[in-house]
Amino acid sequence: MEILQIPVLKDNYVYLLHEPASGATAAVDPAVAEPVLEALAARGWRLTHILNTHPHGDHVDGNWTLKRETGCRVLGAEQDRDRIPGLDVGLGEGDEVALGAARAQVLSVPGHTAGHLAYWFPEQAALFPGDTLFALGCGRLLGGTAEQLWQSLDRLRQLPPATRIYCAHEYTQANGRFARTVEPDNPALAARLAQVDELRRQGQPTVPSTLAEELATNPFLRPESPEIRRRLGLEAAPPEVVFAALRRRKDIF
Tens of pLDDT along 209-241?
A: 999 999 999 999 999 999 999 999 999 999 999
Note if the pTM is more than 0.95.
yes
131 assigned binding-site residue: yes
Q: pLDDT per residue over 101-120, tens digit each?
A: 999 999 999 999 999 999 99
Note the pLDDT of residue 82. Answer: 97
pLDDT in the model for residue 59:
98
Which member of 18, 29, 80, 131 is catalytic? 131
pLDDT at 13: 98
Residue 133 CA to residue 149 CA, distance in Å, equals 9
Question: Is residue 58 annotated as part of the catalytic site, yes or no?
Answer: yes
- Asked about 18 being catalytic, the answer comes back as no
d(CA 85, CA 36) in angstroms, rounded, equals 17
Q: Which of 18, 49, 54, 116 is catalytic?
A: 54
Domain boundaries, the chain: 2-165, 172-251
| Catalytic residue, candidates 18, 49, 116, 169 | 169
56 is catalytic: yes
CATH architecture of the domain with range 2-165: 4-Layer Sandwich (3.60)
Mean of the pLDDT values across residues 175-199? Answer: 98
131 is catalytic: yes
49 is in an annotated binding site: no
Q: Which of 58, 61, 95, 197 is catalytic?
A: 58
DSSP designation for 169:
B
Report the pLDDT value the prediction gives residue 216, as an integer from 0 to 100: 98
Check 18, 49, 59, 116 and give the catalytic one: 59
Catalytic pick among 18, 49, 112, 116:
112
Question: What is the C-alpha separation between 126 and 99, in angstroms, rounded?
Answer: 14
Query: What HEC string does 53-118 produce?
Result: CCCCHHHHCCHHHHHHHHCCEEEEEHHHCCCCCCEEEEECCCCEEEECCEEEEEEECCCCCCCCEE
112 annotated as ligand-binding:
yes
Give the pLDDT confidence score for residue 142 in this predicted structure: 96
pLDDT at 51: 98
> Could you read off the pLDDT of 69-98 as tens digits, one per residue?
999 999 999 999 999 999 999 999 999 999
116 labeled binding residue = no
Angle at 191 between CA 188 and CA 193, to 5 degrees: 105
Determine contact, residues 111/145, Cβ cutoff 8 Å. yes
pLDDT tens-digit readout, 129-155: 999 999 999 999 999 999 999 999 999
* 56 is annotated as contributing to ligand binding: yes
54 is in an annotated binding site: yes
Please give the pLDDT value at position 116: 98
Over residues 12-65, the pLDDT tens digits come to: 999 999 999 999 999 999 999 999 999 999 999 999 999 999 999 999 999 999
**Number of residues written out for the chain:** 253
- The whole-number pLDDT of residue 101 equals 96
Structure confidence at residue 232 (pLDDT): 97
